[in-house]
């Protein structure tokens, strides 16, 4: 898509059950350890220390050659990585392109792989986990899009065939023929893409900050797209899942343990359910380390952004987003795999709250669309200092030494509460304290454990006192800490989900 985003002074002295004196701390920035390797355990992402990880971050996707060029005002630099880590973001979805990986048939571009690997290293040293996203929008430059190199697709627009531009160009008959070539592998497009992703996987093998490889952004069904309405398309999804498994096998041959992210076909963004991992329509997922990677967009919001239709249409967003999260719940339960929402937002602050609340309820991570470098030919101000940033920058548990329970955060006042069921871990629970919400300091209170970080730490570490649930509360000194959302993720240990700016944070598109 074209979507571009003090904590006082006292020691944390806590009893084993409840803080005898709330800790008030002043901002103290500390160096973050490098990102550690992630793997899946059921519906959780887990780090090498056995802690359940929650990911909050952004997209950074370069769609035009020469791709991934730090200093160009789009690609992330070390200064961007510092800014993102300072705001508590611990993941970036970094776009890669089939066209960049293999610009000529069968020829991998080693210089491009080097630039991608260098950017991964810059982010990883700041504790930022990187998802490598094989991005496409509109299939190929053949139709004014990006992703698949022109040599990999034989279909071409007909003379005089109207091209309405992204995203309506998905309805062009010739583009649908191009997508049919992909899914049928009729001219080897999937084989070549698999080889390209295999080369990428080999290049980053051994880099613990690579949290996964996303096989294909927003895949369009091609000619059968109408069969996906109104209730999804099991016949197409059967072919699609086979294609995802084929590409996964290429990745696994080069990098056996890296998580692989599968998106639903993009009619998901038009409220259709996915049939991935839905026996007998489609096979169960047997491959370890598969992660579900849906997007959460609102069609009315997108129509207002891209087609200049009335903004009043956004009133329908709650209904669509509730449908999206019901579909996420269904897939997560039947497949028993983690979910990360790899795109949402699109520069529209009016739809953020729904996504963020739903994600908190389920302890699901996310990557906001989109952040472009603020350090380039012309430096730009920090884009997270406006209304969008006030919602995205949050106090949250980045790593939990236990099973996550109820998570609640008030993005207006900063009141935070989190409960988890402890379990053995090589490192303690780590909670990032927002650098935007506590100008006069924060108070921390713990039940069932104790704070082990120094006073003034931006990352509060918590050690459980035993096996009883641990509850952590953080709030401003002038708050009682009770101004919290009524919803939240499930009670600790239940393993069930709960109920039901400016700068370079830019605008996006109808799915991408």
Residues marked as catalytic: 218, 343
Helical axes 173-184 vs 189-204, angle rounded to 10°:
70
| Secondary structure class of 467 (helix, strand, coil) | coil
CA distances 300 to 57, 346, 348, Å, are 24, 12, 11
CB 294 within 8 A of CB 365: no
Nearest-5° Cα angle at 444, 438 to 449? 155
Residue 92: phi and psi, rounded to 5, are -135, 130
Task: Say how many Å lie between the first and final Cα of the chain, rounded.
Answer: 4
SS3 112: helix
CA distances, 353 to each of 122, 150, 329, 334, 356 (Å) = 30, 39, 18, 27, 5
414, 442 in Cβ contact below 8 A? Answer: yes
Gap between the Cα atoms of 368 and 374, Å rounded: 16
Q: Quote the CA–CA distance of 480 and 26 in Å, as a whole number.
A: 18
Q: Please compute, for residue 206, the number of CA atoms within 13 A of its CA located in the half-sphere on the CB side.
A: 2
Widest pairwise Cα distance in the chain = 77
Distances (CA, A) of 496 to 53, 109, 255, 350, 485: 17, 45, 32, 28, 19
Residue 329 makes CB contacts below 8 A (sequence gap 6+) with 362, 497
Q: Is residue 444 within 8 Å of residue 474, measured between CB atoms?
A: yes
Quote the crossing angle between the two packed helices 299-306 and 317-335, to the nearest 10°: 130
Q: How crowded is residue 353: how many other Cβ atoms within 10 Å of its Cβ?
A: 14
User: d(Cα 99, Cα 46) in Å, to the nearest integer?
Assistant: 32
Measure CA 373 to chain center.
18
Q: Calculate the CA dihedral of residues 411, 484, 420, 124 and round it to 10 degrees.
A: 0
The DSSP code sequence of 232-298 is --HHHHHHHHHHHHHHHHHHHHH-TTS-EEEPPPGGGGGTPPP-TT-TTTS----SSSEEE--EE--
């Amino acid at each position: 898509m074209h979507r571009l985003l003090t904590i006082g002074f006292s020691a944390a002295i806590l009893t084993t059950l409840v803080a005898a004196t709330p800790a008030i701390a002043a901002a103290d920035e500390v160096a973050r350890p490098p990102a550690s390797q992630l793997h899946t355990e059921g519906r959780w992402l887990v780090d090498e220390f056995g802690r359940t990880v929650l990911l909050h971050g952004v997209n950074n996707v370069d769609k035009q050659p020469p791709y991934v060029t730090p200093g160009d005002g789009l690609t992330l630099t070390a200064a961007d990585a510092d800014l993102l880590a300072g705001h508590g973001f611990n993941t970036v979805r970094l776009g890669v392109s089939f066209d960049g990986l293999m610009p000529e048939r069968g020829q991998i571009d080693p210089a491009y792989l080097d630039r991608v690997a260098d950017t991964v290293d810059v982010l990883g040293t700041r504790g930022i986990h990187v998802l490598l996203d094989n991005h496409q929008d509109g299939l190929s430059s053949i139709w004014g899009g990006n992703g698949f190199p022109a040599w990999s697709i034989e279909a071409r627009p007909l003379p005089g065939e109207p091209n309405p531009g992204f995203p309506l160009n998905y309805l062009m008959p010739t583009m649908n023929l191009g997508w049919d070539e992909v899914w049928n592998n009729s001219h080897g497009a999937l084989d070549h893409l698999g080889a390209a992703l295999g080369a990428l996987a080999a290049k980053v093998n051994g880099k613990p900050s690579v949290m996964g490889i996303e096989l294909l952004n927003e895949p369009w069904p091609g000619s059968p797209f109408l069969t996906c309405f109104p209730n999804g398309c099991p016949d197409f999804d059967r072919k699609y899942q086979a294609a995802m498994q084929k590409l996964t096998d290429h990745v696994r041959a080069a990098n056996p343990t890296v998580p692989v992210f599968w998106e639903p076909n993009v009619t998901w963004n038009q409220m259709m359910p996915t049939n991935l991992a839905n026996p007998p329509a489609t096979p169960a997922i047997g491959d370890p380390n598969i992660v579900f990677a849906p997007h959460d967009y609102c069609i009315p919001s997108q129509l207002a952004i891209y087609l200049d239709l009335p903004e009043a249409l956004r009133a329908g967003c709650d209904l669509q987003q509730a449908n999206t999260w019901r579909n996420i719940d269904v897939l997560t339960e039947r497949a028993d795999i983690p979910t990360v929402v790899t795109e949402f937002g699109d520069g529209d602050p009016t739809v953020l709250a729904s996504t963020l609340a739903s994600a908190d309820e389920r302890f699901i991570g996310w990557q906001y669309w989109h952040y472009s470098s603020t350090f380039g030919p012309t430096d730009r101000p920090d884009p997270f200092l406006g209304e969008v940033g006030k919602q995205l920058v949050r106090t949250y548990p980045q790593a939990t030494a236990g099973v996550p329970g109820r998570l609640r955060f008030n993005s207006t006042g900063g009141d935070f509460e989190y409960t988890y069921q402890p379990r053995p871990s090589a490192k303690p629970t780590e909670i990032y304290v927002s650098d935007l919400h506590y100008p006069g300091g924060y108070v921390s209170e713990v039940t069932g454990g104790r704070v082990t970080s120094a006073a003034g730490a931006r990352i509060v570490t918590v050690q459980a006192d035993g096996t009883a649930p641990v509850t952590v509360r953080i709030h401003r000194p002038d708050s009682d800490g009770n101004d919290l959302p009524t919803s939240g993720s499930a009670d600790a240990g239940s393993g069930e989900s709960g109920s039901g700016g400016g700068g370079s944070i830019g605008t996006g598109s109808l799915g991408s």
